[in-house]
Amino acid sequence: MSKNTVVTEIVEKYKPIWALDHAQSLLEWDMETYMPIGASKPRGFAQAQTALIKQQRMLELAGHVSKAEKLGDLNDYEKGILRVIKRDLDYYMKITPKLLEDMRRISTEATVVWREARRKSDFPMFKGYLEKIVDLKKQEAEKLGYKGHPYNALMNLFEEELTTNDVDRVFSLLLPNLKRILNKVVSEGKFPSTHPLESVAYDEAAMRRVNLEVLKLLGMPEKTFRMDTSTHPFTTSMSVEDVRITTRYEGKDFKESLFSTIHESGHGIYDLQVDTSLEYTPLSRGNSLGVHESQSRFWENFIGRSREFTKVVYPSLKANLPFVSGYNEDEVYRYFCSIKPSPIRVDADELTYNFHIMLRYELEKKLIGGELEVSEAPALWNDLMQKYVGIRPEDDSQGILQDVHWSGGGFGYFPTYSLGNVIAGMFYHRIKMDMDVTDVVRKGELGRIKLWLKEKIHSYGATYSPKDLQRRLFGEEYNPERLVSYLEEKYTA
C-alpha cells in the first residue's frame, strides 16, 4: 500500500466520498427495483443534492493531488489512486454544478417518461427529453475538452482514453468477419434460428431454483451477494462486500433468464474479487466499463454458452424444468447458441450483438457531432437496422425506444459493450495458455477460472488504466481478432 504521507492523507479524505458513492448506488438500485413509480421527483432531487455534496468533497482534494503529483517514485497503487482521483477531479473542475444538476434532474425524469413512451411506442412523447439530453451532452463534451471528435470526451468517461479511432478500427475488422461467419452459420443450419424450447412456458419459481443452483456453481457468496428481479438486468456494486444483481423472468424461453443471471454474476465476480485492502479507496471498483463487460461476457458466452457448461447445468434444468427432459444435452446446447438476427439488442446472439452496438455508435457520434437531428434519429435507426441486421423494426418501441441508456444520459456507453466482447476474446485466448478451459468447465471446476481471473485482473481493481491493463496482460489493446477466432471456431468449425 502507501507509506507516502501525502497519498495516505488523500486516501483518508476520500473515505466520505466513497460513502457518498455507496449511498448513491443504493438510491439507484432501489430506483430500478422497489421504488414506487411516483417517487421519481424526490429521488431525482435527492440524487442531485448528493451529487453536489460529492462534487464539493472532491474539489477539496485538488490541492492535495497537485502536491502529490510533484512526488517522484510512486508505486503502482499510489499512481492508481492519483490517476483515478484526477479523472474524477478533472470532471468536477470542468463541469459546473448547474450542468451536473440539470443532467441528474432531467435524466431522472426522462427515464420515467421513456418507460411510458416505450410502452406506447410513442417517440414524440420522449423526443423533447432526448433533445434536452443531447444538448446537455454536447455542452458536457465542450466543457470537458477533447482531441478529434467531441464524442471522444463522452466515451472517455466510460472507457479511459478511448477514441473514435480505436472504435472505428475495432468495428472495421469485426463487421465484415461477423457478416461472413453469420452467412456461413445461416446457410449451414448447424445452429438453428429458432428452437422449440423458446416457446415453452416455465414456472417462475422453478426457474428461480435453476438460477440459484447456477449461482452455487459459480460460487457466488451468500452473505455478500443478492439477486432480485428487474425488466433490464443489471449489477450494482456497493462494496467489495456488497454486490447485487438482478435477473429477469419472462415466463418462457428460459435461456434468457439463465444467461442474464450468468452475465450479471460475471460482473459481480469481478467486484467481489477486488482485493479487500482496496476497500474504501478509489481503486475498490472494477476497471473501465469495457473491461467490466469483458468479465460478464466471458462468463455468459465463453463459459456459459459452451458445450461443456451445458453438460454441467443440464441435470439442474431437467430436475426443475420437466419439459427439458424431452431434449438431450446437444439439443439444449443448440438452443443456447441459436443464431437469429433480431431488431432487439437484448435478444441478440453472440454473432449479431455487435451490429446493434455499431448502429448506436454511429447514431451517437452523429448526434453529438451535430450531424443528425433527434427528429431524424428514428428513421436512421431503422435504416441502419435494416442494413446491418437485415430487419426493419415494426415500430419505435422495437426501434429507437428499446434501450434505457439515452434516457439516463448514457451517451458514449454503448461502445463498451462491443469492447467487452473483444476483451473477453482476449481473455479466452490468454487463459487457454494456462489451462485446458474446456476440461476445467466439463469438471465443473469453475473456481479455478475465478481464481485465475482474480490473480490476473480482479484483485487490482482500478489500479491500472484499461489500455495499460491490456498491454500488461496481453501485450496488445482491443484486438478484435481473438473474438473472431473464437466465434469462427465455435460456429463454423
Which residue lies nearest Zn ion, judged by its C-beta? 296
132 versus 305: smaller Cβ distance to Zn ion: 305
Near Zn ion by CB under 5 A, which window of 126-134, 221-229, 289-297, 443-451?
A: 289-297
3-state SS string for 374-414: HHHHHHHHHHHHHHHCCCCCCCCCCCCCCCCHHHHCCCCCC
271 versus 364: smaller Cβ distance to Zn ion: 271
268 versus 343: smaller Cβ distance to Zn ion: 268
Q: State the minimum distance, in angstroms, from the CB of residue 450 to Zn ion.
A: 17
Near Zn ion by CB under 5 A, which window of 184-192, 208-216, 291-299, 330-338?
A: 291-299
- Verify whether residue 350 is a known catalytic residue: no
String marking each residue 246-285 x if it binds Zn ion according to CB under 5 A = ----------------------------------------
Quote the DSSP letter at residue 300: I
Near Zn ion by CB under 5 A, which window of 52-60, 176-184, 290-298, 312-320?
A: 290-298
- Angle (CA) 399-152-476 rounded to 5° is 100
Q: State the minimum distance, in angstroms, from the CB of residue 218 to Zn ion.
A: 15
Quote the DSSP letter at residue 459: G
233 versus 409: smaller Cβ distance to Zn ion: 233
Q: Phi and psi dihedrals of 324, rounded to 5?
A: -70, -25
Q: State the minimum distance, in angstroms, from the CB of residue 351 to Zn ion.
A: 18
Q: What CA–CA distance (Å, rounded) separates 48 from 361?
A: 28
Q: How many residues does the chain have?
A: 493
153 versus 424: smaller Cβ distance to Zn ion: 424
DSSP 197-216: GGG-B--HHHHHHHHHHHHH
**Binder to Zn ion among 108, 296, 301, 306 (CB under 5 A)?**
296
H-state helical runs in 218-253:
none
Q: State the minimum distance, in angstroms, from the CB of residue 281 to Zn ion.
A: 24
Q: Of 159, 160, 256, 264, which residue is the catalytic one?
A: 264
Residues binding Zn ion: what is the number (CB under 5 A)? Answer: 1
121 versus 230: smaller Cβ distance to Zn ion: 230
Q: State the minimum distance, in angstroms, from the CB of residue 296 to Zn ion.
A: 4
Which contacts (CB < 8 Å, 24+ apart) does range 123-132 have? 123/378, 123/396, 123/400, 123/401, 126/401, 126/407, 127/374, 127/375, 129/407, 130/374, 130/377, 130/406, 130/407, 131/374, 132/106
150 versus 290: smaller Cβ distance to Zn ion: 290
Asked whether the beta carbons of 478 and 343 are under 8 A apart, the reply is no
Which residue type does 468 have? D
- Of 255, 257, 247, 197, the closest CA to residue 226 belongs to 247
The residues facing 42 across adjacent strands are none
Q: State the minimum distance, in angstroms, from the CB of residue 295 to Zn ion.
A: 9
Instruction: Answer yes or no whether residue 156 interacts with Zn ion by CB under 5 A.
Output: no
- Of 281, 250, 145, 265, the closest CA to residue 212 belongs to 265
For the four alpha carbons of 154, 126, 24 and 241, in that order, the dihedral sign comes to negative
Instruction: Answer yes or no whether residue 236 interacts with Zn ion by CB under 5 A.
Output: no
Which residues contact Zn ion (rule: CB under 5 A)?
A: 296
* Residues assigned a catalytic role: 264
